[in-house]
A and B are shown apart, each in its own frame.
Chain A
Amino acid sequence: MNHKMEVDARGLLCPKPVIQTKKAVDQLESGVVTTIVDNDTARENVIKYAKSQNYRYEVKQADGFYYIDIYKTEVMFDSEILPQTKPKLSEIVILVGKNTFGEGDETLGEVLIKGYFYTLTEMEPYPKSIMFVNSGVHLTIEGSPVLEYLRALESNGVEILSCGTCLDYYQVKEKLAAGGIGNMYAIVETMHKAKNTIRI
């Protein structure tokens, strides 16, 4: 059995680096998978994958490329490292598919979405994750009317994920101001693991 594998994901677009990394890790019983990527988004996504699986990882940078070593046997227990002061999160995942709330008048929809996120900050337990897709990503970027609420939720351990494809499509990736970037794999996986997904 091979204990070392290398995935050269340079030049590959999201979500291919993660798919190939996952394939390599799955093939390996134990050992190290080194994924080489050439951009920040791919690096973040591979790291996110490693974290989601509780694998220890190391990132090195050389010649303008990122080398991410993922260690399969060594499990990283977040709960042992972090103090247990965070409020309890519910098993609920929220999928936000647009930047207004409900169908109908836009102005009212904007008022309601602000109210929705404000109220989320007041209701514990907080959801486990909030994921933003399509025009929903306008809520996680600079100038968003709900930014302070998202940051408050994030600081309480709620995962905030924006769809990378969507940020790209609306050309607002540089303006991301809360949470991280995820791909469809992260979104689908989060929904499948959730006890309950609420679609906004």
Chain B
Amino acid sequence: MLEKKFYVIAFDSTHYAISTEKKLAAVGAPITMVPTPREISTSCGLSIRILDENLERVLEALNGVSKEGMNLFRIDRTSTENKSVKLEWRD
């Protein structure tokens, strides 16, 4: 919970966030629904938090899912400059 570095998927819509969380939870993907971290300003209030060791599993579970309205971020609270960096989805 108090990890300083992790990944976050932020959503454009709350409904999309909730339905994606359900989809991921249904396949046992290790994720946590959290309020969107303050480091990310643009998006709805709900995000999915992913610990480093679980990123691959979650990305796999999201294979074939449209990434529209879904943004992946790297959060690093130890950084003094960019605490959040937007990442590209890989194909």
Which A residues fall within an 8 A CB radius of B? Answer: 107-108, 111, 114-115, 118-119, 121-122, 148-149, 152
How far does the alpha carbon of A148 sit from the alpha carbon of B35 in the complex, in Å? 16
Would B2 and A118 count as touching, CB distance under 8 A? no
Contacts of B1 in A (CB 8 A): 118, 121-122, 148-149, 152
Q: Given the known A-B contacts A121-B2, A152-B1, are A115 and B34 also in contact in the complex, defined by CB atoms under 8 Å?
A: yes
Which B residues fall within an 8 A CB radius of A? Answer: 1-2, 14, 18, 21, 32-35, 45-46
Among B1, B14, B32, residue most surrounded by chain A Cβ atoms (within 10 Å): B1
* Secondary structure dominating the interface of A: helix
Other-chain contact of B33, A111, A121, A149 (Cβ < 8 Å): A111
**Cβ-closest 9 pairs across A and B:** A115-B35, A121-B1, A118-B34, A152-B1, A119-B35, A114-B33, A111-B33, A111-B18, A115-B34
How far does the alpha carbon of A107 sit from the alpha carbon of B15 in the complex, in Å? 10
Contacts of A119 in B (CB 8 A): 34-35
How far does the alpha carbon of A152 sit from the alpha carbon of B32 in the complex, in Å? 15
Q: A108-B18, A111-B33, A119-B35 are in contact. List 8 more A-B contacts (CB 8 A).
A: A107-B18, A111-B46, A115-B45, A118-B1, A118-B32, A118-B34, A122-B2, A149-B1
Q: Could you list some 6 contacts between A and B, CB below 8 A?
A: A111-B21, A114-B34, A115-B34, A118-B1, A119-B34, A119-B35
